[in-house]
Structure 1
Amino acid sequence: TRRQVLLFVSLISFSTAAAQISYSVPEEMTKGSLVGHVAQDLGLDVKRLKSGKARVFTRDSTAYVELNRDRGILLLKERIDREALCEQIMPCALHFQILLEDPMEFYSVTVEITDINDNPPTFRTSQAHFNISEGVLIGTTFTLDRATDLDVGENSLKAYSLNPSDIFSLKSVNQMDDGKNIEMVLNAQLDREKNELLTLVLTAVDGGDPQMTGTMQIIINVLDANDNAPIFTQPVYKAFIKEDQPIGTVIIRITATDADEGANGHISYSISAMTDQGHGLFKIDKGSGEVTLNGKIDYEKAKNYEVNLRASDDGGLTGSSKLIVDIIDVNDNRPDIHIMSTSNMIAEDAKPNTVVTIINVEDADSNDNGNMHCVINNNDYFALKSTSEKFYTLMTESELDRERISAYNITVTCSDE
């Protein structure tokens, strides 16, 4: 894919700068809060900010930070919700440049948005219902829905507790990564004649200060004899799908077996839990176990999804497995070219290697689909040089003579691989 930009060049010289500074602010600070003394930290005079018409340069309109030239400081332009901005990505940071003109300079700035404990753990539903046979053996496990917490780090979900815990207790099972399934373990024999209905409370606790919690009620109907739980053919399933596949595409068919006969051996499939950003993207046929795409996926937003699967028989027993869906990148983004200078003039006595403008180019795709190369049309007076990743500098290559040529049309072409 390629994109062309027409650049008109006439008469002013520029210089570049390579300083880089970083700041850190907590989320949810009020509009107008101080981010940092950018002029002082960059060693710039406030007068230079004014004369150079200093401004914040971002690639889109989501500029959360603004520059106060008179005081040489960066201020928050609006309140930032870290979870809305970055979801689970750590660290969460804003990247932008401070741009000055005449001569042209730019400085890279990174502002990390740190998490505060402003979200409690939450369960997908307020109640979970189980139908469990009184003949189930002690030690049998039942998969529970996990809680989710939008916060990260120490403020994220840390532990679960179950109350009362005399008949059932909790067991955490690692599955290939840091994600955990929560399982309830039977510790004592059930007796339908003594108690046919049990009510438990599952509590999720985060690590913040103060601590925040979320709860889900577990209601258990005690039934008669069903002594075999469904078992998946694999503990973990893997599947691959291209990001441009249409809704309804079949991803995989999963299978579980149950040694019981009749209703106690009849299996229904369901999705028990998955990551927040994946909710609604996949669905499963409860009878066939066929998993299909139910929403638009984008490799640039998520490279894989984890789906927790549940197989339930009509007697109330369950089995669990996990499906990992890897997203395959498609070259669906063309290079995006941005001209950073607002001027289109240069003096005819400018020396060779004078900077005319700086060009910022990005491609949202990954690997070869996102690797870019930029060139200009044949021109004896100008050259395009790569100064750093995603930045090119257009410079004079020989002396200019306005009486011979008073204006140049330069075509910049950027292609991905």
Structure 2
Amino acid sequence: MPERLAEMLLDLWTPLIILWITLPPCIYMAPMNQSQVLMSGSPLELNSLGEEQRILNRSKRGWVWNQMFVLEEFSGPEPILVGRLHTDLDPGSKKIKYILSGDGAGTIFQINDVTGDIHAIKRLDREEKAEYTLTAQAVDWETSKPLEPPSEFIIKVQDINDNAPEFLNGPYHATVPEMSILGTSVTNVTATDADDPVYGNSAKLVYSILEGQPYFSIEPETAIIKTALPNMDREAKEEYLVVIQAKDMGGHSGGLSGTTTLTVTLTDVNDNPPKFAQSLYHFSVPEDVVLGTAIGRVKANDQDIGENAQSSYDIIDGDGTALFEITSDAQAQDGIIRLRKPLDFETKKSYTLKVEAANVHIDPRFSGRGPFKDTATVKIVVEDADEPPVFSSPTYLLEVHENAALNSVIGQVTARDPDITSSPIRFSIDRHTDLERQFNINADDGKITLATPLDRELSVWHNITIIATEIRNHSQISRVPVAIKVLDVNDNAPEFASEYEAFLCENGKPGQVIQTVSAMDKDEPKNGHYFLYSLLPEMVNNPNFTIKKNEDNSLSILAKHNGFNRQKQEVYLLPIVISDSGNPPLSSTSTLTIRVCGCSNDGVVQSCNVEAYVLPIGLSMGALIAILACIILLLVIVVLFVTLRRHKNEPLIIKDDEDVRENIIRYDDEGGGEEDTEAFDIATLQNPDGINGFLPHYRRGLLGGISQDAV
């Protein structure tokens, strides 16, 4: 270290000495005042009056006092001389005293108050403080009075190369894509040097790579790191350690240096195709496996990573493309083979598939290397399983007429055991679907028979479930739905759609429609209902009413004349025969009740009873109810009064002569037999107003004829 410092001092002072020796003498003629004494090295003489006196004198080489220099890090046995202060007022009589103040005065810099010599008494470091501002002054030694104004000057610490370069942000990490071309920029690094960058080459840095060649290079001045080899392969080596050096003094000998490390990671690109781990895969699966079940997995390995390693799988060929499918598992990066359709060991026992794995993300830079895909063969063996019976149809539809005889065969279901070792089948009905046990089935041949009568009008459809069970293995069962439709037969006669009651005005007109009626039939003929209406044969020539068939399958009843009188006959009964169009046709007779009513002139019915009481106008329904309630209350009071009165008059003890057992009357008369029944017309008693539109004849029996003069 002392040798190097001496060498540096020699390099520094040698040019200055040569310059001072060769400098030509000059004449200093500029006027100066006392304040300039410290700024010049030429003597300045003053007369006794203190006036300036211009002299011609040869200029001496001296210090420039407004700026002095001192080397940093200098340490010797004696303090280092920085410079000297001098004034021409000092004749050498030692009457002038030099005073130093400012940064470091007395602690770092010390002045000889007689000679004006300034020394550095401590070792200086430019990197801690580069310059010091001081003030110099000359005073009278005895009186301490200033001889001239203070003068400020600077002492600069001169730099030496005592600081090595440093990488403050190291160690470094960088990435570069694999397969990059030569000269691809990776990153740049920066070193700092605490030495003075404007003085000498102490802070001039040059960069170089100590370790990491021949893969990377660095530009000496900019420290930009680039790839030095093309097409570096991540799959061969992913990470590189580069040692970088920064050297000052422009890289010359004697300079200081610092190092750092750079870790370069090659990032992946899709430069490798997928590759199946094996060219042939074998899987086995039971024939009764559930649809969608994973049968096996195939995997194509890819040396790339991340999305560059993602592959999609497809079945591109084989005899099982319709039965199997393959899906991609993004997490495991393999293909899952699943079942799409049922298998049958008895039909086909093995399948061969050709599967393909292809990269999802293709890098066009490497497409010329060939297809980024691979293929493999998959063989799937179907294993036999004990399967349940199989019906000949997934559903059955049977039809039966509602008048079918009991135990008649409605239909038949069939089933078989699909296994090679076929087992006999036994059939049964799931009674939860036939709670009323309307059907039976032959356990051996599956024929369904009728157990109870059917009525389509009560239920058109019967849905039952048939069970087929293997005799050898009762756990193997199958079920099939059977829908039984009950077909209609003409077993219901038509009748009125509702209970009609017609009203006829006394002042009605001939041909006036009294009532329109329609019919209904519980049966459902294929071509729809068509009804025929007629009167009873003995009523065809009815003088009071006639009927008319309408296009909408309804019937209108018309009056033949006017002048009906409710006092003469209040009610008419008109029997109407209704026939359907079935085969064979069915018919029934429905009676229409026609009441004669009193009507207003515009045909509004007012009263249909001969003894009808017309309420006074203005009497409300509430008033009528109140009147009826009062009447009922009076009747209850009267009944209670009479009852209490009777109980009060009767004795509590019954006398012997009033014993009720003696009050028995015996009759020995016999009944009249048929003569009694001929005395009254029972039908007339049931309908005293007459039937069939005529007044009754009370002297005729139930089976007697109807008098025609009652019209």
Please give the range of the TM-score, normalised by the shorter of the 2 chains. 0.3 to 0.5
Higher RCO (C-alpha 8 Å, min separation 6) = 1
Instruction: Name whichever structure is richer in strand by fraction.
Output: 1
TM-score (norm 1): 0.40
